Chain A
Amino acid sequence: AQKITQTQPGMFVQEKEAVTLDCTYDTSDPSYGLFWYKQPSSGEMIFLIYQGSYDQQNATEGRYSLNFQKARKSANLVISASQLGDSAMYFCAMRRTSGWDDKIIFGKGTRLHILP
């Protein structure tokens, strides 16, 4: 069975500092994808970044990067130069990519507060 663990229920970070949100996962599938989503108070889930299990390099999207350590089953999200608008819930998620399965498994989330 697949499982996503986010151990930080909440974080407070000063504006302009870098932030690392932790995510570990468990799966027996050799082929999988890892996602990070942002959920502001409005409720909509916003896709941030994706990492495939066979990707050799860490994914980056603007200020977001994914620190993928496959042996440790870790997929931490790094936000550089945080902004007030980054305050939101952040979810790490995973899905199989080896079959006909679009189901995504989510972690419990980390609530990030950016302080001015």
Chain B
Amino acid sequence: KAGVTQTPRYLIKTRGQQVTLSCSPISGHRSVSWYQQTPGQGLQFLFEYFSETQRNKGNFPGRFSGRQFSNSRSEMNVSTLELGDSALYLCASSFPSVQGQDSYEQYFGPGTRLTVT
């Protein structure tokens, strides 16, 4: 079974531009989560999508947005890039949590390393 894939792997943008990152989950997984990883803040949750709906959202400004398609693929968009947006963006997929049942682990992709200059 293929793992989580993320494209592109590396990206260089300038301040003020916008960027779109893509994530394809493991086949059969319907939940996709996005995380930002920086040396200073560590791993921070951005948002989670399930069945094309945003189910959870972290504490990030509105410049960060996402969406999920009917095939569970997800995209993340950052508008008006700032230097502080330079980070490794990780996508993770899982079976959705079901209330009353135990949790399934999330499987991560290789990440997209975004550099803003």
Judge whether A47 and B103 touch: CB under 8 Å: no
**A104 in contact with B110 given A45-B92, A91-B43, A99-B99 (CB within 8 Å):** no
Residues of B in contact, count (CB < 8 Å): 30
Residues of A in contact, count (CB < 8 Å): 26
Judge whether A102 and B33 touch: CB under 8 Å: yes
A31-74 vs B, Cβ < 8 Å mask (1 yes, 0 no): 00101010000111111001010000000000000000000000
Judge whether B50 and A102 touch: CB under 8 Å: yes
Is A78 an interface residue when CB atoms closer than 8 A count as contact? no
Judge whether B103 and A97 touch: CB under 8 Å: yes
Q: Footprint of A on B, CB under 8 Å? A: 31, 33, 35, 42-43, 45, 48, 50, 55-56, 58, 88, 90, 92, 94, 96-97, 99-103, 105-111, 113
